[in-house]
Amino acid sequence: MASHIVGYPRMGPKRELKFALESFWDKKSSAEDLQKVSADLRASIWKQMAAAGIKYIPSNTFAYYDQVLDTTAMLGAVPTRYGWTGGEIGFDTYFSMGRGNASVPAMEMTKWFDTNYHFIVPELGPDVNFTYASHKAVNEYKEAKALGVDTVPVLVGPVTYLLLSKPAKGVDPSFDLLTLLPKVISVYKEVVSDLKAAGASWIQFDEPTLVLDLESHKLQAFTAAYSELASTLSGLNVIVETYFADVPAEAYKTLTSLPGVSGFGFDLIRGAKTVDLIKGGFPTGKYLFAGIVDGRNIWANDLTASLITLNGLEDIVGKDKLVVSTSCSLLHTAVDLVNETKLDNEIKSWLAFAAQKVVEVNALAKALSDQKDEAFFSSNAAAQASRKSSPRVTNEAVQKAAAALKGSEHRRATNVSSRLDAQQKKLNLPVLPTTTIGSFPQTVELRRVRREYKANKISEEEYVTAIKEEIRKVVELQEQLDIDVLVHGEPERNDMVEYFGEQLSGFAFTVNGWVQSYGSRCVKPPIIYGDVSRPKPMTVFWSSTAQGMTKRPMKGMLTGPVTILNWSFVRNDQPRSETCYQIALAIKDEVEDLEKAGITVIQIDEAALREGLPLRKSGQAHYLDWAVHSFRITNVGVQDTTQIHTHMCYSHFNDIIHSIIDMDADVITIENSRSDEKLLRVFRDGVKYGAGIGPGVYDIHSPRIPPTEEIADRVNKMLAVLETNILWVNPDCGLKTRKYGEVNPALTNMVEATKLIRNQLASGK
């Protein structure tokens, strides 16, 4: 019985690629240095999977930024503003598309389906000249082959690539991107021919858009694409891989009828209903790549239950055609549990990171081949039983409090218009108030202080003194810049979710459980293993300290319950909604303590609310109901004069705008600039928004400093569709990833642009 891995984490067990990328971007190392680090990581990954007995090992899943940007480079679909004139695409052009540069902005970045991973959105139009411009796929295949490892090259499928793209600026928004399919397929043919010539016997196309609710003409595009590719694919074994949800019945028919395809991959964790479709009919002689090991969470697989499922599938497709696989790429989980030295043994026994999941896949494959490792299965069963019976998982008081929430919508008693009036009387803010989203640059010195405090190398008194000094600097800077509503800069936090999780019960933490979010950005998701509660206040001391340094309003900064949920590895033994309600009650306690401490503006970030939206429409209303309800629970008890902000970023919001309104926040700051201001279209289309709103005026994920005139132009576009009295001016997101040399001039220009518009409004121009 064969085994298969859809994809693997690329940052390295100790974030080696992250540091190599940042060193290269800072011009502290060469391209050759970066390539050496990445080659060493790839070699280690391939050898590890080969040693574990995996038959179908992926290659070309190692991206320097993301796999969609890799595909854009492969197709030579470079927007003209980057000045690419042809030839093999190098790092300068590649990273300019992903990050921008001093003269041009980056391409839009958005979430990869319903994950916290991001991709760079292709910008296409009828005049794009597709050309084979990056040979990365074949180069990596040859690289692995030279190491004695025969891999399965992985490509983003041609239809998924087009469906994830957008019309370029200046192209009619109604332009049908699928009309570009023949041009795109011609390049894919060249790539496939190259891989065949290099000796590849298998190739994998990732087509995850097949799990979406697609219209018939989009499904027909898959048939057209693979029919056109069929002759080129002849002689190769071809996998079409799907993941993240059930495949709809019509899409299943389309997929399993594709010409030239040898096998089909399905996510049987988030798409368990697909098993029913397989039982209803699976094409004779085709391979089933059964994604039975969860690629998106860190819980050890229930091997006994999985084996039962696999035995049932084996009866349908045949012993020689069933391949045990991961549900999706392991990119979305942490790298190796071996590196976790501080997790206690009980919780550690419940977990499996990417390296352990590779072992699980192979153990299941061997069990199906009558080579079951009884000791391994027995140990796994003991861990499953331990987790179910452990007293540390359950807190009856928390469960009762969450159950008592049912029956109320938890809405503030006064409407938002009246609340804004009461808040303005207290805050006395100018027209177009300016603010930032929360974090300020995380300097080397600041990181050193936090690191030394955690390692007990400095005392708590020394730590508090250092953090207070950092807050003072951030407050003074904002006052000098003349920003209206201040933040304390979050110097005590390495990560917004990790910081809160460390102070809530029911959470566990890793030392090296890093997961890539985008580019070199990595996060370390907490593990929610049990019922959640707040033992004591979490932010009140720092927010009160910061407010004491200024007469201007100081925002209390919290992460909302839905974002904490979606950015954690969540327990899978109860509905996610139940866990979210528990977190909401903990944040509610914190909000009310902040208000008692005199904090009059409180931001409860829900950056990941849209991210958790189910991919299929049938599940979306239920999710939005409990997610929005959870947010309202956090602030239902505050006074009208306390202003509640929330923040969202880097997702598509237009389709959930009514749910955003239903959150009933007083002010929302939301990403806008990097996505070509498409958020504003919803207001142009007539949606009325009565609360305060701050669409971002510049992209903080690029080192580029936007000029004053550009920001003023963005604000004027906002004023064309939004009332003056509700508009705020702010960046797209927090500033922690930027340097002060970038932040200071960018915020200076933002404030100058705002004052320019205020003067124009005052003079009636």
Chain segment 85-111, per-residue pLDDT in tens: 999 999 999 999 999 998 898 999 989
Residue 737 has what pLDDT?
84
On whether 471 is known to bind a ligand per the annotation, the reply is no
Instruction: Give Rg (Cα) of the chain.
Output: 26
Contact 326, 6 (CB under 8 A): yes
pLDDT of res. 493: 85
Strands 515-518 and 521-523: antiparallel
Q: Given this model, what pLDDT does residue 478 score?
A: 98
Residue type, 428: N
Q: For 511-538, what is each residue's pLDDT tens digit? A: 999 999 989 989 999 999 999 999 999 9
Q: Is 647 annotated as a binding residue?
A: yes
Q: Percentage of the chain surpassing pLDDT 90?
A: 87
CB 616 within 8 A of CB 576: no
For 640-694, write each residue's pLDDT tens digit: 999 999 998 755 677 888 999 999 999 999 888 766 666 677 776 767 888 999 9
Return the SS3 of 649.
coil
Do the annotations mark residue 580 as ligand-binding?
Answer: no
- The token pair at 163 is 């469906």
**CA atoms of 292 and 364, how far apart (whole Å):** 9
Rounded to whole angstroms, the Cα distance separating 393 from 501 reads 15
Q: State residue 675's pLDDT score.
A: 62
pLDDT of residue 238: 98
Burial (CB count <10 Å: 0-12, 13-18, 19+), residue 424: middle
Judge whether 89 is annotated as a binding position. Answer: no
* 3-state SS assignment for residue 253: helix
- Domains parsed from the chain with CATH numbers: 2-57+131-389 (3.20.20.210), 396-764 (3.20.20.210)
Q: Is residue 289 within 8 Å of residue 325, measured between CB atoms?
A: yes
439 in Cβ contact with 489 (< 8 Å): yes
pLDDT lower than 50: segments of the chain = none
pTM over 0.85: yes
Is 701 a residue of the active site? yes
- Asked if residue 567 belongs to a known ligand binding site, the reply is yes
Q: What pLDDT score does 677 carry?
A: 65
Is 699 part of any known ligand binding site? no
> Is 250 one of the annotated binding-site residues?
no
* 42 known ligand binder: no
Joined tokens for residue 478? 């904002």
Cα atoms found within 13 Å of the Cα of residue 66, Cβ hemisphere only = 25
Q: Establish whether 36 is an annotated binding residue.
A: no
Buried b / exposed e across 100-119, counting CB within 10 Å, b at 16+?
bbeeebbbbbbbbbbbbbbb
Predicted confidence at residue 592, as pLDDT, reads 98
Catalytic, out of 4, 118, 629, 701 = 701
Q: Which residues pair with 489 in a beta bridge?
A: 439
116 known member of a binding site: yes
User: What is the identity of the amino acid at 393?
Assistant: V
**DSSP reduced 3-state for 120:** strand
CA 421/CA 691 separation, integer angstroms: 11
pLDDT at 633: 98
- Token representation of residue 737: 């990833």
Burial class (CB in 10 A: 0-12, 13-18, 19+), 497: buried
